[in-house]
Amino acid sequence: MAKIFVSAGHGGKQPGAVKGSLLEKNFTLDIANRLAKLLKDAGHTVAQNRTTDVDCLPEKTAQLANASGAEFFVEIHLNSFALSSANGCEAYYYKGNSQGQKIATDICNAIAALGYRNRGAKANTSLYVVKNTKMTAVLVECCFLSSPEDMALYNADKMAKAIFEGIAKTYFAVKKQETKPAEQSGTGKMYKVQIGAFNSRANAEKLAAELKSKGYDPFIVEA
């Protein structure tokens, strides 16, 4: 089990990329919340920079992450470019961090399996949260908000699950123990239960007949 910090890029007064009515901050929050749930369900402890549409600048996010004691940090973004032909997913890790490179690669491969172009894992030393977090950090650019092709493929559940699957190749899910039904302890012997005694055999036979009609196997003995 690991402690993982999930960051939703932008938020509040910082919309991030904008394409018509589409705001990057809304997509990042949705994906981040879904990803956080998947990680929790897998047995990990999760901290987040925001769970609603509030301001959380990179400086604040890095501060929260460093104070959380998390082992791994992942931040969610959507890309944008002036040319709508730009498309695909990519993920940034801090240059020289081999674990970050592996997770970034695994995340990109998982997203690309959904049909997106794989732009790959990219080393970086300037992105604020990648540079200023103490733990291994990856910043994911899930797809291009500016690309009609990418947005036609977009599904929040599938995107969150793909990122989860990429992370899970390093931070494995913890299997929950199944509760087994209590085993019956017995010696193979049969035990009979007496439920009545009568001083009239006719009454005893009447009760026996009623029990037999209900599927029981009664018998009569003399006391």
Condensed to tens digits (0 to 9), the pLDDT of residues 133-151 reads 999 999 999 999 999 999 9
Instruction: Name the pairing type of β-strands 89-94 and 136-144.
Output: antiparallel
Whether residue 114 contacts residue 152, with contact meaning beta carbons closer than 8 Å, is answered with no
Alpha helices by DSSP H, listed for 116-220, are 128-132, 148-153, 156-168, 201-213
- Which pLDDT score, from 0 to 100, does residue 41 have? 97
| Superfamily holding 3-168 | Zn-dependent exopeptidases (3.40.630.40)
What pLDDT sits at residue 34? 98
Question: Is the confidence at residue 64, as pLDDT, over 60?
Answer: yes
Name the average pLDDT for the chain: 89
pLDDT (0 to 100) of residue 145: 98
Three-state DSSP class for residue 94: strand
Confidence of residue 197 (pLDDT cuts 50, 70, 90): low
**Structure token digits, residue 99:** 């674990």
* pLDDT for 187: 57
Average pLDDT over residues 12-41: 98
For 218, which DSSP code?
-
Q: How far is Cα 20 from Cα 29, in angstroms, rounded to an integer?
A: 18
Percentage, residues of the chain above pLDDT 70: 81
Q: Which two tokens stand for residue 203?
A: 């009454």
pLDDT tens figures, 80-122: 999 999 999 999 999 999 999 999 999 999 999 999 999 999 9
Q: Is the pTM of this model over 0.85?
A: no
Q: pLDDT band at 218, cuts 50/70/90?
A: low
